[in-house]
Amino acid sequence: GQGVEQPAKLMSVEGTFARVNCTYSTSGFNGLSWYQQREGQAPVFLSYVVLDGLKDSGHFSTFLSRSNGYSYLLLTELQIKDSASYLCAVRTPGTQVVGQLTFGRGTRLQVYA
């Protein structure tokens, strides 16, 4: 079956870093996306990866290992405003729903001063 798993919570200190993990087990793989969702707000796109390795985008970096069904979102130089939920979504080559996205439950990151 389709499964995207993320830890529910993560805490880190301002100025340091946080790594948000995502593991997936899906029928096929056409890429993985990360979204940020602040409390009471809409999810906002952060990053998309489809090839193995680390994609450095400054404050946010994304790693993917397709053979292990694993990705992480790395936030560096954390700020209090980075406190939010981070959603992992895997795109599969769907049949009924073309290219369907399967979302994880999200990881709530709390950054402390």
Partner 1 sequence: DMKVTQMPRYLIKRMGENVLLECGQDMSHETMYWYRQDPGLGLQLIYISYDVDSNSEGDIPKGYRVSRKKREHFSLILDSAKTNQTSVYFCASSLYGTGVGNTLYFGEGSRLIVV
Tell me the C-alpha distance between 30 and 39, whole Å.
29
Instruction: Verify binding: residue 10, partner 1, rule CB under 8 A.
Output: no
Instruction: Verify binding: residue 109, partner 1, rule CB under 8 A.
Output: no
Residues 70 and 33: beta-carbon distance below 8 Å: no
Contact partners, residue 106, CB within 8 Å, separation at least 6: 6, 37, 85, 86, 87, 88
Residue with smaller CB distance to partner 1, 14 or 23: 23
Candidates 51, 58, 81, 98: give the one binding partner 1 (CB under 8 A). 98
- Could you tell me the two tokens for 59? 């404050």
Candidates 7, 14, 19, 30: give the one binding partner 1 (CB under 8 A). 30
Phi then psi dihedrals of residue 42, to 5 deg: -80, 150
Instruction: Verify binding: residue 57, partner 1, rule CB under 8 A.
Output: no
Q: Under the rule (CB under 8 A), what is the footprint of partner 1?
A: 4, 8, 30-31, 33, 35, 40-45, 48, 50, 87, 89, 91, 96-106
